[in-house]
Amino acid sequence: MNLSLYTLAVVWGVAAGFVTRIRMLESDYRQYPTYPHGHVIHLALGLIAAALGAVAVPALMQKDYTAITFLTVAAQQFRDVRNMERQMLTNLDELELVPRGKNYIEGIAMVFEGRNYIVIFAAFLTSLSVVIFHHWWVGALVGLAILFLSGFLMSGKVIHDIAEVEVAPIRIEGASLYVQDIYLMNIGLEDNRKRILENGIGILVTPRRASGRVTIGNIGQRQAILHDVSTILGVYRDTGEPALTPLAKRDLKDGRLGILLLPQEKDVERAVEIVKNVPVLESAIRKPSKMPKELRKRWEST
């Protein structure tokens, strides 16, 4: 096999993998990864992953099976990156007025690990197609196809896919705070009651099916909703004010979720849109509707 073809395969494989990593890297309202230093770290790891995937094809063609060992070592390194991301975000979360929560952090760390594997896969397939078809433009087409597909891998379900989201009235009876008919907490001070009524927004999340009811009942999913809204609209509170904390409680009868938001910017329509577009955390997804019929009947009879 011509060495120039191997060189061409590696170059196109690295290029495809690196561009794919750029495509999957973005700083949004969560401000993570931060820029520019966070971008540099993830792009450097993406370049390393692309090089590993691209070089693996010529190595295997030359029957140099130590390439598999390098891929195994790379997988271990990317797992270490996941642990590093988890630890860093956990430390930062302690300084947030409305924390992300452990489930959200784990989801972010898992995504960044998984995207490095996608980069290896993209580089490997691009390099392999150049070697097999002996044409660089075939690798370019494969790289473009993977780049297009990577956009779908970045997307997932949001709250609006599993539940209806609408504005709900906030009311206080005595010292008890309600969103619609869902009890949230007891507010002792009159001043705090006035501030909640003036600045608060009530949101009602109604699940469409049984699996959605379990998902929005997950504490980590609730915390993700509160964090995202507070990140975008701000939060009307400071340290040492437990009564002015955004809160989410569910109705034990039907699984509806009542949410109290205390944004710095009281924009009701925007708050509803933000809640609708909060990502559904993978760790919160449950599918009790997929239970086998025999087990479901036994479960319903208890």
Q: How far apart are CA 8 and CA 94, in angstroms?
A: 48
Residues 6+ apart with CB under 8 A from 30: 108, 228, 231
Confidence (pLDDT) at 187: 85
End-to-end CA distance of the chain: 68
User: What SS3 state is found at 200?
Assistant: coil
- Cα dist. 273→55, 165, 212, 293 in Å? 45, 8, 18, 37
Mark the ranges of the chain whose per-residue pLDDT is less than 70: 1-3, 26-37, 67, 153-155, 286-302
Q: What is the pTM of this model?
A: 0.79
pLDDT digits (tens, 9 = 90+) for 235-268: 888 777 777 888 899 988 888 999 999 998 888 8
Confidence (pLDDT) at 260: 92
- Cα dist. 173→159, 168, 192, 201, 204 in Å? 30, 16, 14, 17, 19
pLDDT digits (tens, 9 = 90+) for 37-70: 677 878 888 888 888 888 888 888 877 777 677 7
**Cβ atoms 167, 201 nearer than 8 A:** yes
Partners of 8 in beta bridges:
none
Please compute Rg for the chain using Cα positions: 24
- What is the DSSP secondary-structure string of 112-177? HHHHHHHHHHHHHHHHHHHHHHS-HHHHHHHHHHHHHHHHHHH---BHHHHEEEEEE-EEEETTEE
Q: How far apart are CA 30 and CA 300, in angstroms?
A: 41
- What is the DSSP secondary-structure string of 78-126? HHHHHHHHHHHHHHHHTT-SS---HHHHHHHHHHHHHHHHHHHHHHHHH
